Amino acid sequence: MDRMAERDAMDLVLYHGREGFVHHMQKVCDFMLQQGGEHPVFRLWRGFALASQGRVTEAIRDYTTATGRREVQIAVFTAHIAALKSQRQIDQDTIDDIETKLMVEEKSATPGAWLQCAAIHWMLGDHIKARDTCQKALDGQQTDSYINPQSLLGWINLSSKRSAFVEKSITNFEKAIDSSQDGIPNHVDAHLGKIAFLDHKRNWSAAIQVVNELIASAPSNDLLNIVNIEKAKILIKKGQWGMAAETAQRLLNKEPTNIQALMIINLYLLVEECRYSVAANSVRELWKALEIGEPKTHTLYAMISRTIARMSGGSTQILHTTQMLMNKACDLQPKSAEYISEKAFQLSLAGEWSRALEAYRQALQVDDGNLGALHGIIRSQLMLGKLDEAEQQLEFLNQMQISERPAELCYLTAVMRWRKHRNQAASIESIDEAVAIHAKQCTSGSASYAFYEQFNPQLLLAIIREYLQHCPTEPLSPTDPPSTIASKTRKPLELLVKHVKGSLEGQLLLARIDFIENDLEKAQISINSCIRTDPTFAEAHLLAAQIAYHQENYNQAQQALEQSMTEFEVRDWPQYNLLKARVANAVGKHEDALKDLEHALALTKQMVQGKRYRPLNVQDHVSIYLELAEVQVKLKNYSVAEETITEALSIFRGTPEEGRVVIAQAMIVCKKDVEKGLSMLRSVTTESPYFLKAKAHMANIYLNVRNNKRAFAKCYEELVEAFPTVGSYLFLGEAYMSIQEPEKAIATFEKARAMDPNDAEMSSKIGMAFVTTHDYQKAIQYYKNAVKAEPKKLALRHDLANLYWKLGSYSDAEEELKTSLIRKEKDRSNSDDLHTSMDDVRTLLLLAKVYKSSGDLKKCSEALIQARVCQNTVIQKVRGEQPELEQQQRRLGANICVELGEHYRRQKMPEKAVVFHNEALKQDDTHSRSMLALAQMYSDKGDLDGCEHQANSLLKVDPANEEASMMLADIMFRRNNYEDATFHFQQLLEKKPGNYGALVQFIQLLKRAGRLYEAPPFFTAAEKHARRSEPGLHYAKGLYFRYTNNPREALRHFHKGRSPRDSRWSEKCTCQMIEIYLNPGSEAQWSTEGEGEEQTDMTENITWAQSLLKDVKNKEKKKILEAYVLVAKRKTNDLEKALAMFYDIMTSSESDQSQKPATEIINVPCIVGMATVLQMMKQTPKARNHLKRVAKAPYNQDEADEFERAWLLLADIHIAGGKYDLAQVCIFYLRFLHAKILHQLSHDSCTLIVGVPSVRGTSVTSSRSNAVKSERLIPSVTKYFCICNCCNKLFQAFHKSNCRIL
C-alpha cells in the first residue's frame, strides 16, 4: 500500500465499508496507524472493522484506546454500544453507562465528531440517525480533513429508500465536488457518490464519463484500483461484458488476489459465456483470495456463495466450491438459520434432496420462522415423492401468506396441483402468478451480484420447466389446438436469456419453443450454439434428434441420440426412450421400438407413483401410450394395442388430452371398421382442444378412403358453424382449394378477411385462389386493389410482383418492385430503419430474380450487390443486441453472397466468385452452400487440396452432405485411388440408392477410369428402390449405354427420362438424345472421310434432332445444338450458317458481362464448334488459331468433353500437317488435363491420337503410314481399337528407347 493522505485513506475506509470488505478497511487503518502513529479516527474505524468481523473484544480494546479524543468521542461511544449489543450475552449495565457518557459528550461535540458519528450510524444501517447527525455537522459550518459532510449526506440520502432523498443526493455530491481546491477533484468519495447516483438513474454513459475523469486524476494506486472496479461494474450494466472483463483482468495482472476483480471475472464467465469448467477454476481462485483478503467476513462469503450457486447452471464443480464457501460462513456464524438454509438449498441444487431436507430441518431448529427453510422442506418432499407431507406444509404456508406470496411458494403450489391432483388449469394459474411476481421483483435491477442473487436463474428455470410440462412437444400442425402455453413460456425465457445471455439451458429451452412454433431453422441455430459451447449437453443432442426425426432425417436423429448418451442417466429419461422408439419405428425396427416404449412406460409409472421425479410433459406421457399402440398395430398385436389405448383413456379421461387418445383409438378402429372410427371421431366435443384435429381426420377419411368430396368439405363447414373464427374460415377455404373449388375458397377467404381486415396473409391467399382459377387478370386486378387499399403492406406488393414474374411480365414486376423501394425510401424517416432495411433486402432479392429471368444479368448483379449492402446495414444494427436475430440475418447475408458468387461463376469470373463465397463464410462459418461452391471451384481449377479441405470442412458442419461425399470420392478417383473412391460411392449409394445425382457422377467417373463394368449392380439397387419410372435413373442408364457404344439402348433410356414433370433430368436427356442423333458413333465430326456416304444416313437423324430442340429451355445450349444440326448436314451453306451461329453465341455471351474481367472470358463449346466447322471447310489455319485460345480458358468440369475435343482436334491437325512434336505437346497437355479431371486414356478418341508413335527413322515413318492406313480402312469406333493393336505390335517390334506409346 502506497503512502497516502488522510482524506484518501478515509475514502478507502468508507468505500470498503460500503462494499462489505471490512478486513480491507482494517488493513487501511493498520497502515495509517503504522504510517502516522496513534490516530484516533483510524483507531475508531479499525475497531469498527474488527467488530464487523465478530472480533468484539479486540474492537472494544481499540474503542478504549480512542476514548477521550474529542474529534471521535461520540462516534467511539456509538460504535462501542453497537458492538456490545451484537454479542450473545448483552452487558446492559455497561451499555447504560456508555449511553450516559454519550449524552454528556453530545453537548460539546465538534462538527468533525458529529461527522464520524454520522458515518458510524450510516454503516450500522440507521439512516435516520445518520442524516440527523450529519445535519448537525453541517450546521457547525466547519470543514473536516477526513470526511466531506456533503458527500456523506449524499451517500446517506442515496442509500435510503425514499425517492425524495435519493433525488437530493446528487445535489450533495455536486456541492462536495465543487468544494475541491484549485479545481483538483480530491474528493474521490464524492465522485464515487455521483457515479453511484448516475448508476441508480441508469445513466451509465454519463457514469463512465465521470469514471474516466476520476481515473485521470486518481491520487493513489489504491484509489485508482477501486475506480477501475467501479468502471468494470458500470460496463457490465451497460452490457459491455468483454470490456469489463478486460478491465478486471488488468487489475488481476497487478494484484492476483483482488477479490472484486475476481468476482467480476466469475460473473462474466457465468453470465456471458457460461463456461462452467473455466468458471469452476476461477471460483476456486476467488475462494483462495477470500481466505487471504477477508478471512472473517461471513457476510461476504455468504453473498458470493449464494450468487454463484444460483448462476452455476447445476455444475457440480462450482457447487462444490460454493458449498465450501457457505460452510465457512456457517462456521463464522454457526447460529445463522439463514446460512444453514442456504447450505441446504445448494445441496438441493446438486440433487442431494435427502441431505437438503435434513439441513432445512436444522435451520428450522435455529429459527422456526425461516421461510426459506420452510419452502426448501416442501420442495425436497415434493422431489422425494412425499406428497402428503408436502401438501400439509404448503397449505399452512399459503394460509400464512395470502397477500404477498413469494414466487417460490407459487411455484411449489403449481407443482403440487399438477403432481398430486393433476389439475392442469390450477397449476398453470399458479405458474402464471410465479412468473408475474418474479418479473416484478427483477424489472428495475441491473447486472450485479445482488441482482443475480435475487434474479435466481435456477428458480426461473424450474418455473419454466413446469410450464413446459403443459406445452406441446412437437411442432404444431394446422389442426392442432393453439398453444397459449408456448407464448407464455417464451416470456420468462426471453427474460432469462436477456439477463444471462450465455445460459445454455435457457438457450435450449428457447430453441424448444422455436421448435414447437415450427421455426426449425432458428431452433437448430440455438442448438448448434449450445453444442459448440458444451459438446456433452445431452438435452441439446436430444432436441437435435427430435428436429432430425421431424425432418425425416433418421440417420442424423440416431447419431444425435447416441451423442446424448454422454450423460449416463439419459437412458432413464422417458423422453429419450420415446424418441429412440420413434426413430426405430420409422426405420422399420418395430421390435426395438416396442422394447424402448415399454421401458419408457415403466419409467413414467414410477414418476407418477412418486418413486422418482423428472418433469414429464403431459403430451409426452400421452405420446408414449399412443406410440406404443401404433407399434403394436404394426406388429399385428391388435388386441394388445386396444388394451393400451383403453389404459390411456382411463388415465387421461376428463383431461384435455382425452380427445387426442380418442382420435388415436378411432384411427386404429378405422383399419377394420371405417364407420365405427368415424363415430368415435364424432364423439370429440367442441369443448375439446382436439375438436379441430378430429374434424380434420374425419375430412381426410371422407376424401382419401371414401372419395367423398362433399362430406370432406362438410366437416370443415361444421367446424365453421361451431367456431366461426378466422382460423376456421381459413381451414374451410383451404379445404375448398384442395378439392378444386377455388370460387368457394375465395368467398370463404373474403369472409375471413372481413373479420380481420389487417391480415395481409389473407389477402395473399385470396390472390393465390384467383391464380388457381387461372383467371390471372382478375388475380392481378385483385392484388392491385389490395395494394391500393393497403399501400404499406409490402407482402402484397411482393405477391403481385411474383405473379407478374411467373407470367413472364418482367417489366411490370420490375416497376412494382421499384415502386416499393421508392415508397420505402419516402417512409424511412417515419419508420423503423431496421425493418425498412430488412424490407429493402427482400425487395431487392426479388428484383434480382426478375432481372435474372429476363436475361438482364448486369442489373441482376447490381440488385444483388445493393441487397448485400442493405443486409450488412441490418447486421450492423442487430449486432450485440439480438443474438438470435443477428444469426438469422448473418445467414441471409451469406445467402446473398452465395447468389453473387454463383452469378459470377456462371459468368466465368471465378476470381470474383471466390471472393463472394469467402465473404459468405465470414458471415456464417457453417454455410454449406458456400463451402460446396468453393470446393467445386477448387475442383474445376485442379486444386485438389483446396477442394478436399472445403469438402472436409463441409462434412464437419453437415456430416450427411452427399455432394461433399461425392466430391471426396471424385478426388480419390483423380488421385488414381480407385478402390477407396469406388468404396466411398458404394457406401453412399447403398445408404441412398435413389441419389441419382451421385449415381450419374459415379458412372462418369467409372467411364473415365475405364471401369464401366462395375456399374450394373448399382442400377439393380436403384431399380429396387425406385417406386416408379425415375428420370434420374434412366438418365444414368442412358449415359452408361452411350459410354459403352450402345446408342440404341441409350436413346431408349433417355427417351424414358424425358418427363415434363421433372425439371432436373428431362432437359439433360433431351440434349443427350440430340447429340446421339447427330453423332451416333461418337466419332470425330471434323473428319471428312466418306462424306457423301454419311449424308444419306443422317437425314432421318437430323429430323429427329430438330424435333427435339423445341424441348430445350437453356437458350445458349439450344443455339449450340441448332448449330451442330447444321454441321451434321455437312453442306457448305449450312456450315457457313453454323459458323455464324457459333460466332453470334460467343459474342453475345461476352457482351453479357457487367464489366470487363481480369482474364479473357472464353466460350469453349463455341470455340470447339467453330474450329470443327472451319476444319470441315478446309480452313485448317483458322481452326488451329481458334483452338489455341482454349489453353487460356480456366478449366470447367461441366465442359470436360469440349476441352477434350479441342485438344484432340488440335492434335489431329498437327499430325495431319506432319508436326508430330506439336501433336505430342497437345497429347502431353491432354494427359495433364486428364490427370486433373481424370479423363483416362481409355477414351476412344484419345486412343486414336495416342496410337501414333513417336519414333525416329524411316522404319518408324512407314509404321506410322501403316497405322494411318489401318485407321482409314476401319470405320466408326472399331478403328480405334485396331489402332491400339497396331501400336502394341509396333511397341513389341521396336526397343523402348526408340518408341513411346503415350
pLDDT value of residue 1233: 52
Interatomic CA distance for residues 823 and 1146, integer angstroms: 41
What percentage of the chain has pLDDT greater than the value 90?
Answer: 29
Interatomic CA distance for residues 292 and 415, integer angstroms: 44
pLDDT value of residue 1295: 39
Amino acid (one-letter) located at 504: L
Interatomic CA distance for residues 564 and 1241, integer angstroms: 50
What percentage of the chain has pLDDT greater than the value 70?
Answer: 85
Interatomic CA distance for residues 52 and 500, integer angstroms: 33
pLDDT value of residue 684: 87
Q: At which residue does the C-alpha cell 389490395 appear?
A: 786
Phi and psi, residue 1060, nearest 5°:
-65, -20
Q: Is the pLDDT of residue 1250 over 70?
A: no
Q: What is the mean pLDDT of residues 251-262?
A: 94
Cell of 1112: 430445350
Q: At which residue does the C-alpha cell 418432499 appear?
A: 381
Long-range pairs of 1291-1300 with CB within 8 A, sequence gap ≥ 24 = 1291/1253, 1293/1263, 1294/1253, 1294/1255, 1294/1259, 1294/1260, 1294/1263, 1298/1255, 1298/1256, 1298/1257, 1298/1260, 1299/1253, 1299/1254, 1299/1255, 1299/1260, 1300/1253, 1300/1254, 1300/1255
Cell of 663: 382420435
Buried b (16+ CB within 10 A) or exposed e, 902-911: bbbbebbbbe
Cell of 557: 436423429
Q: At which residue does the C-alpha cell 428420370 appear?
A: 1031
- pLDDT bin (cut points 50, 70, 90) of residue 741 is confident
Interatomic CA distance for residues 59 and 262, integer angstroms: 29
Most confident of 104-118, 252-266, 434-448: 252-266
Q: Is the pLDDT of residue 1078 over 80?
A: yes
Q: Is the pLDDT of residue 1160 over 70?
A: no
| Pairwise pLDDT comparison (1111 vs 437), residue with the higher score | 437
Q: What is the mean pLDDT of residues 338-349?
A: 95
Angle value at C-alpha 355, between 287 and 438, nearest 5 degrees = 70
| Pairwise pLDDT comparison (444 vs 133), residue with the higher score | 133
| Pairwise pLDDT comparison (249 vs 1217), residue with the higher score | 249
593 with 562: CB under 8 angstroms?
A: no
- pLDDT bin (cut points 50, 70, 90) of residue 1245 is very low
- pLDDT bin (cut points 50, 70, 90) of residue 403 is low
Q: At which residue does the C-alpha cell 429451355 appear?
A: 1113
**Per-residue model confidence as pLDDT tens digits over 502-519:** 888 999 999 999 999 888
pTM of the predicted model as reported, rounded to 2 decimal places: 0.64
Q: Is the pLDDT of residue 8 over 80?
A: yes
Q: Is the pLDDT of residue 723 over 80?
A: no
Amino acid (one-letter) located at 1058: R
Cα 741 to chain centroid distance, Å, stands at: 41
Residue in 956, 955, 913, 952 with CA at minimum distance from that of residue 934? 913
pLDDT value of residue 154: 93
Residue in 886, 806, 889, 907 with CA at minimum distance from that of residue 854? 806
Cell of 867: 441487397
Burial of 367 (0-12, 13-18, 19+ CB in 10 A): middle
pLDDT value of residue 879: 73
Cell of 138: 453541517
Average predicted confidence (pLDDT) for the chain: 82
pLDDT value of residue 1087: 59
Q: What is the mean pLDDT of residues 1284-1295?
A: 44
74 with 114: CB under 8 angstroms?
A: yes
**Per-residue model confidence as pLDDT tens digits over 157-197:** 999 878 899 999 999 999 888 876 544 445 788 999 999 99
**Per-residue model confidence as pLDDT tens digits over 1165-1211:** 888 888 888 888 888 888 888 888 877 776 666 677 777 778 788 88
Q: Mind giving me the DSSP string for 569-599?
A: GGGG-HHHHHHHHHHHHHTT-HHHHHHHHHH
Q: At which residue does the C-alpha cell 425465457 appear?
A: 493
**Per-residue model confidence as pLDDT tens digits over 1033-1059:** 888 899 999 888 888 899 998 888 887
**Per-residue model confidence as pLDDT tens digits over 584-611:** 999 999 999 999 999 998 888 776 554 4
Q: What is the mean pLDDT of residues 25-34?
A: 92
Interatomic CA distance for residues 857 and 862, integer angstroms: 9
pLDDT value of residue 880: 58
Q: Is the pLDDT of residue 15 over 50?
A: yes
274 with 504: CB under 8 angstroms?
A: yes
pLDDT value of residue 416: 93
Sign of CA dihedral 926, 928, 929, 934: positive
1018 with 983: CB under 8 angstroms?
A: no
465 with 506: CB under 8 angstroms?
A: no
**Per-residue model confidence as pLDDT tens digits over 1252-1284:** 434 433 334 444 443 443 333 333 333 443 444
Q: Is the pLDDT of residue 992 over 60?
A: yes
pLDDT value of residue 1263: 41
pLDDT value of residue 429: 93
Q: In 10 A of CB 532, how many CB atoms?
A: 11
Long-range pairs of 1003-1006 with CB within 8 A, sequence gap ≥ 24 = 1003/1036, 1003/1039, 1003/1040, 1003/1043, 1004/1039, 1005/969, 1005/970, 1005/973, 1005/981, 1005/1238, 1006/982
pLDDT value of residue 235: 94
Counting DSSP H helices and E strands in the chain, the numbers are 68, 0
Interatomic CA distance for residues 184 and 164, integer angstroms: 30
Close Cβ partners of 123 (under 8 Å, ≥ 6 residues apart):
17, 48
Lowest mean pLDDT among 50-54, 197-201, 737-741, 912-916: 737-741
Q: What is the mean pLDDT of residues 1074-1094?
A: 66
- pLDDT bin (cut points 50, 70, 90) of residue 6 is confident
pLDDT value of residue 818: 82
**Per-residue model confidence as pLDDT tens digits over 462-488:** 999 999 988 888 887 765 666 788 889
Interatomic CA distance for residues 1126 and 1133, integer angstroms: 9
Torsion of CA 48, 50, 52, 57, to 10 degrees: -100
Burial of 305 (0-12, 13-18, 19+ CB in 10 A): buried
Phi and psi, residue 1168, nearest 5°:
-65, -40
198 with 210: CB under 8 angstroms?
A: yes
Angle formed by the axes of helices 6-19 and 40-52, nearest 10°: 10
